[in-house]
Structure 1
Amino acid sequence: MLKLYYNPISPNARRVWITLLEKDIPFEGVTMNLNGDQLQPEFLEINPFHHIPVLIDDGLRVVESLAIMDYLESKYPSPALLPQSPEMLAKVRMVQMITTNELFPQIVGLIDDNQELTKIAKIKDNINTICNFFTDLLGDKPYFGGEELSLADIVAGVAISALPYLEFNLQPYQKIYDWSARLMQRPAWQKTQLSMEDFDKFKGRVRVLLKLRRREMK
């Protein structure tokens, strides 16, 4: 059986968790305490970069959430979470990378309690740009990959579902708002959705990491 090292408050880990649930793949979950478990010698032997998630499959070790999701899609192709059309596949990959490289850093910026008001305004303007771009990519389809859920929806959905917790209103982006609500109706998303308490734990973890990063840069 697959073994997943994860923590429910980790967005990257939730990507993989949701993928496993959407594909109905049995797995053994190993919950990591992010206050130190990832730094223990036994885990560093599994992942020397001390990050989650990590997937173990019959001796194969896969790190990095996007790589894990691709592995699961290749090994367990049904139900398919990647479209066959080159156009739709390009959209899926764009959404995944924009979420990872553009949106998630903005979410971290909103969580950072040392941000100046002018920077917060700029962050929200950047998120506005992303939401408008995603609106264009979504078009009139229910999901980014077309008629069916894709890996893009999982990656973007985990990130965008965090925005209301950070007082960013999605309602002006009607298609994105409806798309997000559509995701939250799915059983896998209902099972993995964070409570406000869990999201506060995530924010606390992010702030600790930001403080450590600033200390290292001094």
Structure 2
Amino acid sequence: MKLFTTPASPWVRRCVVSISELGLDNRVERIPTKWPHTWATQTTEYAPEFAAATPVARIPALVTDDGIRLVESHAICDYLNAELGGYRLLPQSGRKRWELMSVISITSGALEAQISRRAELLRQPPVRSEDFIRKMHDREHRCYDALEQMTDAFTADVDLAQITLACALSYHDFRFKEDWRSGKPKLTQWFERFIQRPSMQATMPTETPQH
């Protein structure tokens, strides 16, 4: 399989960590991409192989061994978990599945707000909207407040909810200056422990190479 990646994206990291935790590293070829900082507002030139893999032109994108194209992290992680992972990262059904899906859905909202804020910050005044940046900031922190109350859903076993949340909080530390830890002792304690996993340490975010 081929997975198109960048070292900065938390969506990509979510997939790469899942691959590692499922022991599938030898099944997946990682293909790095390059993105100019104008990605936020302009179409960029795409490598032919990447363009063929995803008409959406976003990462991550996975091409399976039998040619199926999966072009966002939810579909990719679902495929990895269901088809190759024996549902080890997310149960197939039952209450536990939906408890973890609740965490994933709120965390995904925070991630979407992070990426939207990052994209807007890359725009230059006067077109940059400070109101939109503040709206995304507030959305992120509402999600963090909710997630502080949801860590009881976690067990000692790794799962997709914990992977997603750790990638989101780590991306916040990477991109933004304001503190998310204040008033969130349970979330902080869990994160500082989970981030020590080898799969997380091996995928710490760095800036995406530019053209």
Please give the range of the TM-score, normalised by the shorter of the 2 chains: 0.7 to 0.9
Residue 209 of structure 1 corresponds to which residue in structure 2? none
- Show the 5 A alignment for 1:1-218: 2-25=1-24, 26=26, 27-35=28-36, 39-61=46-68, 62-77=70-85, 80-83=88-91, 86-100=94-108, 102-108=109-115, 110-111=117-118, 112-113=120-121, 114-116=128-130, 122-139=135-152, 141=153, 143=154, 146-165=155-174, 166-169=176-179, 170-195=181-206, 198=207, 201=208
C-alpha distance after superposition, 1:48-90 (max 9, x if no partner)? 1112222222223222111111111112235811146722211
For residues 110 and 63 of structure 1, do their structure 2 counterparts lie closer, same or farther at Cα, with a shift above 3 Å needed?
Answer: closer
Residue 210 of structure 1 corresponds to which residue in structure 2? none
How much does 1:192 deviate?
0.1
Aligned length: 192
How much does 1:187 deviate?
0.1
Question: What TM-score comes out, normalization by structure 1 length?
Answer: 0.75
In 1: Cα distance, 2:45 partner to 2:51 partner: 7
Secondary structure of the residue aligned to 1:14 is helix
Question: What TM-score comes out, normalization by structure 2 length?
Answer: 0.77
In 2: Cα distance, 1:15 partner to 1:4 partner: 12
Unaligned runs of 5+ in 1: 206-218
| 1:23–1:79 CA contact under 8 A, matched in 2 | no
Secondary structure of the residue aligned to 1:39 is coil
For residues 127 and 49 of structure 1, do their structure 2 counterparts lie closer, same or farther at Cα, with a shift above 3 Å needed?
Answer: closer
Unaligned runs of 5+ in 2: 37-42, 122-127
Residue 213 of structure 1 corresponds to which residue in structure 2? none
| 2:5–2:31 CA contact under 8 A, matched in 1 | yes
In 2: Cα distance, 1:85 partner to 1:79 partner: 10
For residues 53 and 174 of structure 1, do their structure 2 counterparts lie closer, same or farther at Cα, with a shift above 3 Å needed?
Answer: same
